[in-house]
Amino acid sequence: MLEIKHLTKRFGEFEAVKDVSISVPDGAFLVLLGPSGCGKTTLLRMLAGLELPSEGQILFDGTIVSDGDRAWSADPAKRNSGLVFQSYALWPHMSVRGNVEWPLKVMKMPTAERTKRIDDVLNLLDIHQLADRYPNEISGGQQQRVAIARTIAPKPSVLLFDEPLSNLDAKLRVEMRTELMRLHRATGATTVYVTHDQIEAMTMASHVAVMNGGRVQQFGAPAELVERPETAFVATFVGTPPNNVIEVKKNGAGYTIGGRHMPVDPPVDDCLAMYRADALRIGSAASQRSLPMELVEVSAIAGRTMVTGLSDALRLTAIVDVPVKARIGDTVEFELPETPQCWFTPSGERIS
Ligand SMILES: Nc1ncnc2c1ncn2[C@@H]1O[C@H](COP(=O)(O)OP(=O)(O)OP(=O)(O)O)[C@@H](O)[C@H]1O
């Protein structure tokens, strides 16, 4: 089990990670998801032992490996974890085999066992044919495979990845995603993976921690975050496309949105209404619940069409099954469902 207890990290006065508490069972694939600057890398670096927490503890299998309250942290090399960075950081003067061998030499693994381990991981990552090449003789995607092979060779029980795919092109990224999941199943190592890409998070994770401003906004299975976002931030960050979250004002027995009166009582006077993109309909005829909007974006997603409309500051995204004949710049009616999927307070906490 990997446990993070009340973990806080301060740089001077600035709190980069604020009172984070999450635990995952052995073999979990935990994704730390959030926008740039939310504290994901700082949290991962604390897990790797590269950064000392200001408060709180990290435990691997019940043993404390970092303790901010005692200002103590086990050495990165002695905590049975391995870290893969965004940049591959391979030794340029060593062959692929040499790079993978290096951590095993440092561990003083006997030669015969070492040779077998190297062959196993090179095969696992399908780079055996590159064993004698040097990093500048292989592609970026292949270098990343070597970096991963080097990290998993010592069989760490916790594997840490910091946006490992962000330097790869879109197609390779999708392939490597599948590959990393296969690797995760093969090694069984508890994995913590940092990304700002919610599709990556939703496809790979067993558990997701959505972070914003140093805090965990929500922690759960990917489907839970999509089904029941606990904050407006989570609602607008996860899902394909993410949910529409709109400020509304109570007006008589109902509320006003984009000049239209909706006959549903909001739970409080000022609040945020959430509409899932697949709950919206689009058409050319106006109805009681439709808003005229300028069509600003149309894109095909897996056989469906994603449509975005703009009206002053109001932006709505719908996902529909029908082909869209209107052109960019045309006025299209976006029809809202009878009631929003849920409500949030103006500061973003879920009400219903
Ligand atoms: N060594 C440091 N000294 C001071 N501030 C730091 C330090 N490291 C990180 N920070 C600050 O802490 C905050 C969180 O940084 P962090 O790198 O953890 O974010 P992130 O979510 O990983 O972002 P990104 O996706 O852009 O890498 C940022 O505001 C950053 O400027």
Please tell me the distance from the alpha carbon of residue 310 to that of residue 297, in angstroms, as a whole number. Answer: 9
Nearest CA to ligand 1 atom 24: 36
Q: Whose CA is nearest to atom 14 of ligand 1?
A: 39
Domain boundary among 201, 229, 257: 229
Q: Please count the other Cβ atoms lying within 10 Å of the Cβ belonging to residue 50.
A: 14
- Rounded Cα distance between 58 and 175, Å, is 32
Domain housing 97: 2-229
Percent of the chain with pLDDT over 90: 69
Q: In sequence order, what are the residues at sequence separation of 6 or more whose Cβ sits closer than 8 angstroms to the Cβ of residue 11?
A: none
Is residue 64 domain-shared with residue 167, that is, in the same domain? yes
**Ligand 1, closest atom to CA 211?**
21
Higher pLDDT: 226 or 239? It is 226
- Rounded average pLDDT over 222-239: 93
C-alpha distances out from residue 139 to 91, 134, 177, 316, Å: 15, 11, 17, 41
- In a shared domain, residues 224 and 256: no
Give the pLDDT score at 259.
Answer: 78
Does 90 map to a domain?
A: yes
Whether 47 and 155 share a structural domain? yes
Nearest ligand 1 atom to alpha carbon 45: 18
The confidence score (pLDDT) of residue 74 equals 94
Average pLDDT over residues 127-150: 93
Q: How much is the ipTM here?
A: 0.94
- If pLDDT is split at 50, 70 and 90, which confidence band does 76 have? confident
Question: 308's torsion region: left (phi>0), alpha (psi -120 to 50) or beta?
Answer: beta
Tell me, yes or no, whether 71 and 46 share the same domain: yes
Residue 141: the pLDDT is: 86
Q: What pLDDT, on the 0 to 100 scale, is given for residue 324? A: 87
What pTM did the predictor assign?
0.90
- Taking 80 as the threshold, does the pLDDT of residue 87 lie above it? no
Instruction: Say whether both 216 and 251 belong to one domain.
Output: no
Q: What is the CATH number of the domain that holds 336?
A: 2.40.50.140
Number of domains the chain is built from: 2
Per residue in 231-263, pLDDT tens? 999 999 998 888 999 998 888 888 888 778 888
Say if residue 264 is in the same domain as residue 191: no
Q: Do residues 6 and 68 touch, judged by C-beta distance below 8 A?
A: no
For residue 110, is the peptide bond before it cis, meaning its omega torsion is within 30 degrees of 0?
A: no
The residue among 229, 249, 278 that closes a domain is: 229
CA of 316 to the centre of ligand 1 (A): 32
Query: Does any domain span residue 349?
Result: no
Contact residues for 161 (Cβ-Cβ < 8 A; gap 6+) = 83, 84, 180, 191, 192, 193, 194
The mean pLDDT of the chain is 92
Which of 8, 9, 11, 44 for a ligand 1 pocket mutation test, highest count of atoms within 8 Å of Cβ?
11
201, pLDDT greater than 80: yes
Around ligand 1, the residues with Cβ closer than 6 Å are 11, 14, 16, 34, 36-42, 196
